[in-house]
Structure 1
Amino acid sequence: MKTISTYPIIMDGGMGRELQRIGAPFRQPEWSAQALIEAPQFVSQAHEHFLAAGAEVITTNTYALVPFHIGEKRFKQAGSRLIEQAAGLARKSANGYPGVAVAGCLPPALGSYRPDLFSADSARPIIDLLIQHQQPYVDFWLAETVSSIAEAELIAHSVLPTNKALWLAFTIQDEVDGEPRLRSGETVFEAVGWLDKTRLSAILFNCSCAEVMEAAITTARKALAGLGLEQDIRLGVYANSFLPIGDAHQANDGLCTLREDLTPEAYRDFARLWMKAGASIIGGCCGVTPSHIQELAALKEDIRIEP
């Protein structure tokens, strides 16, 4: 009998860069929200590409539906409608593929990779609106690119009334050497040990380099084992295809360069390492294409037929 660590759930890849790749309206600071605003059919097309590649979970295109990306005025005037529209598009796409789940994206409310900008009082009404207008369409919540324990705490508390499970994805520092740390500087071990496990069903690491993920999974697994929760909470990875992002990075300050070496085959090799370390959820973040997801789906099929 196989364990969950060798039989992964396959997530989708990076929505923003897929929209750009297929010719959707795409620019900063709106990022992936631009297609939703101007040509939502491209969002459905992107979902379809990941589903056809073998994704078992697709994520709502709500990452950029925050004032940081679309501006305070547009968020107040159209935020609720756009959030519901994005969630509805994902649900409609998933309904065409039996067994596919929809993850309700809860993005960084005040800017990616910027724990210094986080304020619970400022973030709470944004997160609450994202929850309210996605709840009827999604199967569970996916908090993405979480940079600090304080941000994780707010989201975990905010989703409790919905009675839906939470997958919490931390972004970590792109440093291969040393102890894995969140962008805030807090260690992965501290973050996993602190977490309120109510409704939490998975801890993931996203939007960081592929090379740093194995150590993060290993550390998280040790922390869960120490709490007696190793068999209760899944671990997962969906790395980006960016060059390393340092502390000085400013989100929305131009498009990050994509790596040429992180081919679908290379990404699949990394996925094997993550699974060996304990990951049972695998997908992709920024720059990870349907071709990459197809390789992950093939990897899962290989596992199915192994003796």
Structure 2
Amino acid sequence: MTTEPTFTILDGGMGRLLERLGAPFRLPEWSALSLIEAPEYVSRAHQAYVDSGTDIITTNSYGLVPHMLGEDRFAAHGRTLADRAGRLAREVADGAGRRVLVAGSLPPLFESYRPERFQAGEAPRIIESLVEGLRPHVDLWLIETQSSTVEALTSLAAVIGDGKPVYVSYTLKDEDGRTGPPELRSGEPVEDAVRRTLAAGASSVFFNCSQPEVMSDAVRAARKVVNEVPGAISIGVYANAFAPEPPSDTPYAGISEIRADLDPENYLKWIERWLADGASVVGGCCGIGPEHIEAIRAFREKATAG
């Protein structure tokens, strides 16, 4: 006897997987370079995650912002590249032979981990290009790696009316030895951020692009708020596999080293903890690859088989 899966599996990181596959790769374009020069590698990366057992693949649109593409290239090709990212993910999902959803990635519009660089006046033109390119191809929106509620809710407002579920994912303060209640990188308490995000209409609240060690406290804080709100609201987690780094004045100055203690077996231990804390969607961010997702899938199969 087999029961229904008790949790949903999100895919892993895109940039490092593209590099491993031999795709064109350099900074500051990061994962966007493959989309521009060799989109077949993007399809291969999506397929690797589908083959590993993911339920949701995420569009390769994280790098489609002016500070990574350059202002001129974004203005000329941003929407077209977003459309390409959506089409590639849709094609792989539709060919999976099972139900695989496509999440439209809406990234930090100015720079990851730097909430102080958010520009409210410039944000609408950037988010519009991404949304218009991705919208025809995605099943849901994933507003990810958000450092503050103001940047997250700006993107949320751009998509809340189109009928698709909207998942908002925050990145957390995660420096070594950190203590105290969980906070966004802006310093906002997680509990307050979750409450504001759900009040604005988000379908789910996730935490990503942070160390595994800080995720449980965030999940428990989110669960406290979710328990006060009617309706089915999921909590998700997809953590990084690299050590925490201080913000740099040079965006994406280098590629971080992967932690040796976050191989698939050890990462799965964190997954089990987050599920016990109340998460119902789990996957991986930077440095987490198909082999990690395969381990999560095998764990779920074992857990649901009777």
TM-score range, shorter chain: over 0.9
One-letter amino acid of the structure 2 residue matched with residue 153 of structure 1: L
Aligned residue number for residue 240 of structure 2:
240
One-letter amino acid of the structure 2 residue matched with residue 180 of structure 1: P
Deviation, structure 1 residue 260: 1.4
Aligned residue number for residue 41 of structure 2:
42
Aligned residue number for residue 129 of structure 1:
129
CA distance change for structure 1 residues 207 and 251 in 2, over 3 Å: closer, same or farther? farther
Map residues 9-24 of structure 1 onto 2, 5 A cutoff.
9-24=8-23
Q: Which moved more, 1:261-270 or 1:187-196?
A: 187-196
Deviation, structure 1 residue 192: 0.8
Map residues 1-307 of structure 1 onto 2, 5 A cutoff.
7-97=6-96, 98-175=98-175, 176-197=178-199, 199-225=201-227, 227-229=228-230, 232-247=232-247, 251-305=251-305
CA contact (8 A) 1:209 1:241 kept: yes
Measured against aligned partners, the alpha-carbon deviations of 1:145-194 in whole angstroms (never above 9, x if no partner) come to: 01101012111211123221101000001144211100100010110122
> What CA distance in whole angstroms lies between the structure 1 residues aligned with 2:164 and 2:199?
13
Deviation, structure 1 residue 270: 0.3
CA distance change for structure 1 residues 249 and 49 in 2, over 3 Å: closer, same or farther? farther
> What CA distance in whole angstroms lies between the structure 2 residues aligned with 1:184 and 1:198?
19
Deviation, structure 1 residue 246: 3.0
CA contact (8 A) 2:198 2:204 kept: no
Measured against aligned partners, the alpha-carbon deviations of 1:101-126 in whole angstroms (never above 9, x if no partner) come to: 00000000101001010022211211
Deviation, structure 1 residue 197: 3.9
CA contact (8 A) 1:163 1:199 kept: no
> What CA distance in whole angstroms lies between the structure 2 residues aligned with 1:245 and 1:218?
25
> What CA distance in whole angstroms lies between the structure 2 residues aligned with 1:248 and 1:29?
13
Superposition TM-score, scaled by structure 1 size = 0.94
CA contact (8 A) 1:113 1:251 kept: no
Deviation, structure 1 residue 199: 4.4
Deviation, structure 1 residue 248: 5.1
Query: What SS is found at the alignment partner of 2:137?
Result: coil
Root-mean-square deviation (Å): 1.8
Q: Which moved more, 1:184-193 or 1:170-179?
A: 170-179
> What CA distance in whole angstroms lies between the structure 2 residues aligned with 1:270 and 1:196?
25
> What CA distance in whole angstroms lies between the structure 2 residues aligned with 1:66 and 1:248?
18
> What CA distance in whole angstroms lies between the structure 2 residues aligned with 1:236 and 1:220?
10
One-letter amino acid of the structure 2 residue matched with residue 33 of structure 1: A
Measured against aligned partners, the alpha-carbon deviations of 1:254-296 in whole angstroms (never above 9, x if no partner) come to: 1122111100000101000000000000010011010000011
Query: What SS is found at the alignment partner of 2:122?
Result: helix
Query: What SS is found at the alignment partner of 2:23?
Result: coil
Say how many residue pairs are matched: 302
Query: What SS is found at the alignment partner of 1:121?
Result: coil
> What CA distance in whole angstroms lies between the structure 1 residues aligned with 2:30 and 2:221?
33
Deviation, structure 1 residue 251: 3.6
> What CA distance in whole angstroms lies between the structure 2 residues aligned with 1:163 and 1:198?
14
> What CA distance in whole angstroms lies between the structure 2 residues aligned with 1:59 and 1:65?
14
Deviation, structure 1 residue 129: 1.2
One-letter amino acid of the structure 2 residue matched with residue 61 of structure 1: N
| Structure 1 residue ranges without an equivalent (≥5) | none
Query: What SS is found at the alignment partner of 1:102?
Result: strand
Deviation, structure 1 residue 196: 4.3
> What CA distance in whole angstroms lies between the structure 1 residues aligned with 2:299 and 2:143?
26
| Structure 2 residue ranges without an equivalent (≥5) | none
> What CA distance in whole angstroms lies between the structure 1 residues aligned with 2:154 and 2:137?
22
> What CA distance in whole angstroms lies between the structure 1 residues aligned with 2:78 and 2:165?
24
